[in-house]
Amino acid sequence: MKSRTVFAFSAIALIAAAANARLAAPDVADAVILEDGLPRTLSDFGFFIDAAAQIPTIGVKSYQLNTPLYSDGAEKLRFYYVPTGQTITPEGDNLLQLPVGSALIKTFAFAFGEGDGRKLIETRVLLHRADGWLALPYVWNAQQTEARLAIAGKRLPVTTPSGEQISYRVPNKNQCKECHGLNGEVVPIGPKARNLSRDAIGEMVAAGLLDGIPQGTAEVPLWSNREQVSAESAARGYLDVNCAHCHRPGATASNSGLDLRWEQGTASAIGILKRPVAAGRGSGGLEFDIVPGKPDQSILHYRMASPETGVAMPELGKATVDKDGVAAIERWIAEMK
């Protein structure tokens, strides 16, 4: 009898805790997302119950990518919000189009001491307004209590997980367009069906936000499993996520002649035996973007492995060399016939 009483009280306590959590959860400020102004603080949106702990409010969902964008080893916490009653629509290039009133939220964090947890550095927000997408960067204060709008961007000293001391760059509002620009508009680049975890897709379907996995979705491999998949799959997935938002038709690096999207199947378009169009000194005196079997003679490998400003690729979003990414590209080129 006693055990049943204890169980009953435990159940009541859990129900009460859940109810209290619901009462504490803020509603997302739909008007703030939609209105013309530039919200000064991240808390204005109501995306989090506990922003410092990155606990989202009801209606804001977390998601993971199979292969993430490299950003000096930063931990990234990703979330999306879709207004009540709205749904997500599959679009070209395997993108998932979020309706007007939606938001994409991505927080960058670094560990700041052995066993001391993490430090939130910035949160980037993409808002889908009636006239298109708006990208805004928010920088966290030292107390980790609030993130404030940084239209002009910012430089912050950071120690990466590999121990490198860098000047971390928070992009200014206009620089966001360099990666998110396509045909003169700002667009999301992360939520592609092929690069979302199956769990994330399943949650969208279960919530009634999406009818099912979009047809023709060839899943980008998990980056953590890159050694267990083909060299081509690992490398092409990496290039799609880290490079193709600029190196594709209509984007900011379209003049390079490279199209590094996952679905591109033409050898010369992805750089194989293709001469550079506008590499300048970034070519390192090499002749082709990719020379099959010879990573050390390939411009693509040379630029990814360089830390030098003006040579290093990608140009934005990192200050260090992604050694794992370079190794994946090296393996792919080395295995080419």
Query: What does the pLDDT read at residue 8?
Result: 47
Query: What does the pLDDT read at residue 337?
Result: 82
Range in 116-120, 136-140, 192-196, 237-241 the model is least confident about: 116-120
Band (pLDDT 50/70/90 cuts) for residue 112 is low
Q: Taking Cα atoms as reference points, which of 296, 310, 231, 239 lies closest to residue 269?
A: 239
Query: What does the pLDDT read at residue 152?
Result: 93
Length of the chain: 337
Q: What is the mean pLDDT of residues 304-330?
A: 92
Query: What does the pLDDT read at residue 279?
Result: 62
Residue 186's H or E segment, with its range, is strand 185-186
pLDDT tens string 153-194: 999 999 999 889 999 999 887 777 777 877 677 888 878 888
Query: What does the pLDDT read at residue 17?
Result: 44
Range in 11-15, 100-104, 130-134, 214-218 the model is least confident about: 11-15
Query: What does the pLDDT read at residue 321?
Result: 95
Q: Taking Cα atoms as reference points, which of 185, 147, 179 lies closest to residue 318?
A: 179
Pairing of strands 181-182, 185-186: antiparallel
Q: Is the separation of the CB atoms in 295 and 317 below 8 Å? A: no
- What is the rounded (10 degree) CA torsion for 37, 39, 192, 99? -50
pLDDT tens string 32-65: 999 999 999 999 999 999 999 999 999 999 999 9
Q: Is the separation of the CB atoms in 140 and 123 below 8 Å? A: yes
SS3 state at 45: helix
Gap between the Cα atoms of 149 and 265, Å rounded = 41
Gap between the Cα atoms of 88 and 279, Å rounded = 39
Query: What does the pLDDT read at residue 6?
Result: 43
Range in 76-90, 127-141, 161-175, 209-223 the model is least confident about: 209-223
Query: What does the pLDDT read at residue 197?
Result: 81
Q: What is the mean pLDDT of residues 277-281?
A: 72
**Phi, psi values for residue 124, rounded to 5°:** -100, 135
Q: What is the mean pLDDT of the chain?
A: 87
pLDDT tens string 248-258: 998 888 888 89
Query: What does the pLDDT read at residue 86?
Result: 95
Q: What is the mean pLDDT of residues 81-98?
A: 87
Q: 294-300 long-range contacts, Cβ below 8 Å, gap at least 24?
A: 294/333, 294/334, 295/329, 295/330, 295/333, 295/334, 298/271, 298/333, 299/271, 300/271, 300/329, 300/333
Band (pLDDT 50/70/90 cuts) for residue 101 is very high
Decide if pLDDT at 2 tops 60. no
Q: Taking Cα atoms as reference points, which of 306, 330, 331 lies closest to residue 320?
A: 306
